[in-house]
Structure 1
């Protein structure tokens, strides 16, 4: 295996994706829609694939363990081998990410003029809950309008987020339209860091638009491509394009992403099928019974 295969594409000074992001991109690309029910992947296969983008074996093993502890992956022993599969929670995250990547896109041209306003007030000691809520709101496209008051374009259903965090009693949500008096363009510039977002799109397009894929490992390239793109759109609230600066760079960056994703889809899928060792995962209840009878953790 050539662990430097991804170097065939000049990624410049792009920060390397976190191992967890690469693991999720791996499962999203090669496991999620295999159509074979719950599928586990041998840890050695995951180490092989992530090694192609320069992630070391120990980092992969540590990441897999943390993801099991966080409820993102489940682990199953088969003889001397360990297989990892998606939990329902991780499945939902990947399908949400897939919606953002492949269907919604990075350019919002069909905004209907509505906004979602969310206000919250949490006790000072709830630092973890505050961090979790802010992270989930950012992922859902919210920006800070005022302290404790967040805003997002369109009608955003945040009931699942709020209830999952146990904050129903501390959050108020409204859907509204801006009065003509409101300068929407100015509000957007004040609530979101457009310069930083535009810079990320420009840097992505510069890295990938002229990439020579001929000599590159398609599995490694597609994994790095999707992980990088998802990292960018996670911070993009999909603001209405008519209120953004002219020549907003998300459009060209998205065209570059989709072109390379299409070029690598077939080759990456075929290569992955050759190197991945998989096994069906038992249901959680069956696994629990088996562990109880054998004494295995």
Structure 2
């Protein structure tokens, strides 16, 4: 199969959807075999896992002459948070409060700003004004983790507040997030994957999809849907536009995923347990 996604991203997907449920550790040989299904060669897998290790997402250990990789605590937290958001079926309800994060990071630590900005966007914060980020979601724990991770407690103020105007909460949302653009992305996802879902359903019913095919299609589905974590702030129902497509996309994703999950899991387990190449 032609390589469609970068190796590091695919490894994250496999850890999130499979490896963390199997003791959180995998032999590099099994990982190379699994990634081969997506067109990634051994060299690219070793380079990607090495980079992830340096970034603090995974850690390695030797058992005899074999190398094994597991998620670090930081990696586990990220996967758990991502999983909760990926497999939710509908938007959360709102307690009516906003969370506001304001920081003034000194010039000598300016490299932290970009890192912090990426983390805040991923968590679902929106930029209201320079260095002032807001979210309607209860992300107190995530904020505390970020402050500890980057050691920035002296430079951060965190508030829980109500919006007193002079406009509406929805107008505040429009300032911070481009929901029309996100909705368009959901529309494209629904259009493409509703067709693929019907095709694969027919193939499965006829016995025309191997476990290996299901594993690839399932991982690519998760991989594609996971991109919404970087753009959709998971706003509460009360703050979403009337024709919001996020919940419809979530239903399609879950139906499609559960249709492929069992045979995909069989294929993963065969490679994971044997640690040797198997035929599709």
Shorter-chain TM range is 0.7 to 0.9
Q: Distance in 2 between matches of 1:40 and 1:240?
A: 35
Superposed, which structure 2 residues align to 1:246-261 within 5 Å?
246-261=242-257
Pair 277,76 (structure 1): closer, same or farther in 2 beyond 3 Å? farther
Match of 2:102 among 119, 134, 143: 119
Q: Distance in 2 between matches of 1:182 and 1:278?
A: 61
Superposed, which structure 2 residues align to 1:38-53 within 5 Å?
39-53=24-38
Where do 5+ consecutive residues of structure 1 fail to align?
7-15, 280-297
Superposed, which structure 2 residues align to 1:75-224 within 5 Å?
75-103=60-88, 105=89, 107-157=90-140, 158-179=143-164, 181-211=166-196, 212-213=199-200, 214=203, 215-216=208-209, 217-224=213-220
Task: Identify the range of structure 1 (119-128 vs 266-275) with the bigger mean alpha-carbon deviation.
Answer: 119-128
Superposed displacement of residue 134, structure 1: 0.8
Q: Distance in 1 between matches of 2:104 and 2:193?
A: 43
Q: Distance in 1 between matches of 2:223 and 2:262?
A: 18
Structure 2 partner of 1:229? 225
Q: Distance in 2 between matches of 1:40 and 1:233?
A: 24
Pair 233,159 (structure 1): closer, same or farther in 2 beyond 3 Å? same
Pair 278,94 (structure 1): closer, same or farther in 2 beyond 3 Å? farther
Where do 5+ consecutive residues of structure 2 fail to align?
276-280
Q: 1:206-248 CA deviation, whole Å, 9 max, x = no partner?
A: 2211112235511111111112212212321112333332211
Superposed displacement of residue 268, structure 1: 0.8
Q: Distance in 2 between matches of 1:162 and 1:250?
A: 30
Q: Check the 8 A contact 1:129/1:165 in 2, yes or no.
A: yes
Superposed displacement of residue 40, structure 1: 2.9
Structure 1 partner of 2:262? 266
- Local SS of the residue matching 1:245: coil
Q: Distance in 1 between matches of 2:107 and 2:14?
A: 38
The normalised TM-score by structure 2 is 0.86
Query: Aligned Cα RMSD in Å?
Result: 2.1
Superposed, which structure 2 residues align to 1:25-44 within 5 Å?
25-34=13-22, 37=23, 39-44=24-29
Superposed displacement of residue 63, structure 1: 0.3
Superposed displacement of residue 155, structure 1: 2.8
Runs of 4 or more above 6 Å deviation: none
Match of 2:237 among 230, 235, 241: 241
The normalised TM-score by structure 1 is 0.81
Q: Check the 8 A contact 1:49/1:220 in 2, yes or no.
A: no
Superposed displacement of residue 26, structure 1: 0.6
- Local SS of the residue matching 2:257: helix
Q: Check the 8 A contact 1:49/1:219 in 2, yes or no.
A: no
Q: Name which structure has the greater RCO, CA cutoff 8 Å, separation 6+.
A: 1
Superposed displacement of residue 278, structure 1: 7.1
Pair 109,73 (structure 1): closer, same or farther in 2 beyond 3 Å? closer
